[in-house]
Structure 1
Amino acid sequence: MFLQAALLMFHSCLGLCGAAAQHMELERIKTCGIKCSQDLQCNTKPAYFFADSCQMPADGLTVSSVFRNLSFSTVMTCEGHQRCSLHLGIHTTVQLPESIHGLSVCSQTPGMLRKCRIVRMSKASRRMTSGMQVELEDNCTDVYPQQQVKVTLTTVPSYCGITQSGNYVAPDCSWKDLRRLVPECITGSLSYDINAERKELRVTVSDMLDDEDYQLRLCHKDFICAGTGANALIMKEEVNKSAILPYFRPLPCLCIEVKPSGTQFPHRESPLKGSLIPAGLVCGDGCSQSAGLEEMWHGIHFDTSAGVLSWEPACPVTATVALCQRGGEDGVCTDLQQASQNVSRGKITFAQVDPHPQLCMKFRAGHQSWIRCPFVGRFQAWDVTVMRHADHKEAKLTSHMNATFSVHACAPSEGPAVCRATGTHAVIYVGAHASVGLNVTDTHSCFYVRRTDVTYAPTILHCLTEERSEPAALFATPANQMLIAVIVPVGLWLTAVIIVTLVLHVRLTDSAPVCDVSQHRDRRSAL
């Protein structure tokens, strides 16, 4: 219990100390420089030459006898409103004998050349402070937010092994002082309204740099933030600094990125984590394993020529993708054997897939699962048709492509979902746009049919009770094509003749003279 309490207090202290550090104010200085204690006058000059080879130190001269400690801090100089810069403060305590004339202070950042300065004291000062501890403070090393710096102190002249070094990381832009005063960190404050119906975000930026334009865009956060194409520019002259950004899908990694046009340090927010997406999804930290992943399972693609089914996640996600066969009314999707893959970022593929409507993809993340059936409503590659005749039924297997099928006969025992094997098995090859008859020995027989020329295929149950009153082949045979070629033109010709005849009849009827009955009567009376 004591150990658990101690660990809890330790983690709480880390969080509180980190949060408090972000609200600390950095020390302000007017100008940078080097100061030495004991009222010593320290002179500095840049060192543009390579370090001289070291010489062996005198007896009794060790690292601990010269350098006592080394610490770092960050200080700030400001030239006006929102125009502050950061400097690395180097603090050390040294004990300089008369054989050491000064120190070399070198700093180096990743990818940059080393910069050095020589700090010297006069001979009179060295005599006066011989055997005494001297504090040295140097705050003229420029740094940028979150920059890593390695500092090395050596003696002048250089004595082998008498060096002291340390590493430091400058504060990042989460510090309050940096967000308000350092241009690289002043990206403004974001606020946004979501129009879920129109799929738009109205983004407003405040607390901006006074003389900078701002670039806004939507991006998907992973190792980098990949743009979605939605972007806008807010000009510094605009009074209402807002813009509308359309989005396609509310993915968990969808973020707003805003940055001044003159800097490379963007600021990002996740606009959808509390509205369209359930809480708990944080921009850039991947996807939650409990909720909010409904929009992730899009982008399933099938290459019809190669028979390859693929899917690539739009956001980083820890999930399992499997192929499964969907059942009847219960909708249960049973996993196929050895058809499961783990995914986090890269594309997953299943080669040699039978594109049948009952073949689906099952996505599992955490304790949830989602089913997507990419072949429903598409052109079916093969099917079994059952036709009823006067005295018998006929079953045909029709295929759109060259394929091999395994057919197992069975008889239903407890409904159509349960089928008892009868021992009859056949391997059938069906050519493209062709049909093959299935041997029907029992009016209640069923067939389990599965493609065997592919790696991933469902096993489909077809029963003779699923009959059709007329043949309904998936593809036209050559005989049918010839019959259609003759009947269709003749039918169109007859229809055109009938329409022309009716039109002429109507026009002749309208133009015929109308008989005047009164004149006819007068003629009869005259006779």
Structure 2
Amino acid sequence: MHYHLGRYSFLEWLMVIILMFGMSYCHSIQRIKEYGLTCFHTGGINCKKATLAKQSFFCRTPPRSLPSDVLQNMKVSTVMKCSGKRWCSLYINVNGTAILNEHVRGVEICVMTISSSQTQCESVRFSHKSKNLDGHKVDIQLNSFEVSIGQQVYVTMKTLPNFCYVELEKYHSVEGCDNKDVENNILSCLAGKLDYTINEEKKSITVQVSDIIEGFDYNVRLCWKRFICKDIGAHALIKADNSVRSVNLNYAEILPCLCIEGWSAIPDSRRVRICPFKHGGGKLNGPENFIRSESHLCTWLKCCDV
């Protein structure tokens, strides 16, 4: 069967999606040593950053002498600032151009996180005494907006004062843990690696943990994987100062949805999960595979919600 989506076939669209995913994973994120404001201009102009108490929602009618393209070429990207190996943070980098004009005293740049509507704004004020600079371009770079992995943000650049309809806007997706640079350098993406050994006679699983964040405790548990992984009470905490990186967890019966889950004890930490019995093991359909949970009997069909 051959599907067509508009002018392109299904296979052509699939190749485009795979290519886009590969580019998202492989492209590198620019490193910065310091975040802040930079202005580029050959004349005698000074730029000064000032944090706004609130975003300028109200606008005024622009004067007729104000060019409609007084703001130009806004570009948005993600940059990374690191204070050590794997101790990195992500920031939104905004580049844009302003045309000097007697009516424009600066620009306001805002970054809104779409999921929470939380908005960060900075104002950039221009200082120049000569009107001979009117019409000259000032290139602005501002990268002091800290963001989290995978966030969707809405970026705007407006004039100061805020003239109606004189605005640039862009949507931007912050890279997630599927990006190689983010995966290797952002703490919350470092989920660790789990290896295991099963002792069916003792009904226990020995879990060895490696490649975890140094200086933080690490959680390991058994759970039933459904829409989420439901805790079943088998949990262990590996302390940060513990040289032994293995734990023993007991299980009641072999279930295809019985999984091992591990994560670092830091906020929003990424979790790693493996399910040893996903493709079977033991007599899954046998009458002995009944376990007691929350004061009622359930078969593996019911426990695993299949």
Q: Given the two structures, how large is their TM-score scaled by the length of structure 1?
A: 0.49
Q: CA deviation at 1:60?
A: 6.5
Query: Aligned pair 1:93/2:93, yes or no?
Result: no
Counterpart CA distance in 1 for 2:124 and 2:250 is 58
Aligned residues: 292
Quote the residue 1:79 is aligned against: 83
Query: Aligned pair 1:103/2:107, yes or no?
Result: yes
Quote the residue 1:46 is aligned against: 51
Counterpart CA distance in 2 for 1:192 and 1:153 is 52
Counterpart CA distance in 1 for 2:273 and 2:186 is 20
85 and 50 in structure 1: CA distance in 2 versus 1, 3 angstrom threshold:
closer
Counterpart CA distance in 2 for 1:156 and 1:30 is 29
Q: CA deviation at 1:8?
A: 1.9
Query: Aligned pair 1:215/2:222, yes or no?
Result: no
Q: CA deviation at 1:29?
A: 0.7
Query: Aligned pair 1:159/2:163, yes or no?
Result: yes
Query: Aligned pair 1:16/2:19, yes or no?
Result: yes
Letter in 1 for 2:156: T
Counterpart CA distance in 2 for 1:275 and 1:196 is 16
Quote the residue 2:147 is aligned against: 143
Query: Aligned pair 1:229/2:233, yes or no?
Result: yes
Letter in 2 for 1:55: R
Gaps of 5+ in 2: 293-299
Query: Aligned pair 1:183/2:226, yes or no?
Result: no
Answer 1 or 2: which has greater strand percent. 2
Q: How does 1:38-437 map to 2 (within 5 A)?
A: 38-39=41-42, 41-49=46-54, 51=56, 53-59=58-64, 61=66, 65-109=69-113, 110-111=115-116, 113-124=118-129, 127-128=132-133, 130-272=134-276, 276=280, 313-315=302-304, 317=306
Contact 2:70 2:99 (8 Å CA) reproduced: yes
The structure whose Rg is larger is 1
82 and 42 in structure 1: CA distance in 2 versus 1, 3 angstrom threshold:
same
Q: CA deviation at 1:183?
A: 1.8
- Greater shift after overlay, 130-139 or 28-37? 130-139
Quote the residue 1:397 is aligned against: none
Counterpart CA distance in 1 for 2:132 and 2:97 is 17
Q: CA deviation at 1:206?
A: 1.2
User: Alignment partner of 1:54: what SS?
Assistant: coil
Gaps of 5+ in 1: 278-292, 301-310, 318-527
Contact 2:86 2:185 (8 Å CA) reproduced: yes
87 and 249 in structure 1: CA distance in 2 versus 1, 3 angstrom threshold:
farther
Which has the bigger relative contact order, CA under 8 A and spacing at least 6? 2
Counterpart CA distance in 2 for 1:50 and 1:8 is 46
Counterpart CA distance in 2 for 1:53 and 1:313 is 58
248 and 169 in structure 1: CA distance in 2 versus 1, 3 angstrom threshold:
farther
Contact 2:256 2:280 (8 Å CA) reproduced: no
132 and 276 in structure 1: CA distance in 2 versus 1, 3 angstrom threshold:
farther
User: Alignment partner of 2:261: what SS?
Assistant: strand
User: Alignment partner of 2:21: what SS?
Assistant: helix
137 and 239 in structure 1: CA distance in 2 versus 1, 3 angstrom threshold:
same
Output one character per residue of 1:140-163: Cα deviation in whole Å (capped at 9) or x when no partner. Answer: 100111123222222100112222
Answer 1 or 2: which has greater helix percent. 1
Counterpart CA distance in 2 for 1:135 and 1:313 is 63
Q: How does 1:430-445 map to 2 (within 5 A)?
A: none
Q: CA deviation at 1:102?
A: 1.0
Query: Aligned pair 1:34/2:37, yes or no?
Result: yes
Contact 2:59 2:163 (8 Å CA) reproduced: yes
User: Alignment partner of 1:81: what SS?
Assistant: coil
Letter in 2 for 1:119: V
Q: How does 1:413-492 map to 2 (within 5 A)?
A: none
Q: Percent identity?
A: 30
Letter in 2 for 1:21: S
Counterpart CA distance in 2 for 1:121 and 1:29 is 24
Superposed CA RMSD: 3.5
Counterpart CA distance in 1 for 2:198 and 2:187 is 29
Q: Given the two structures, how large is their TM-score scaled by the length of structure 2?
A: 0.80
Contact 1:257 1:266 (8 Å CA) reproduced: no
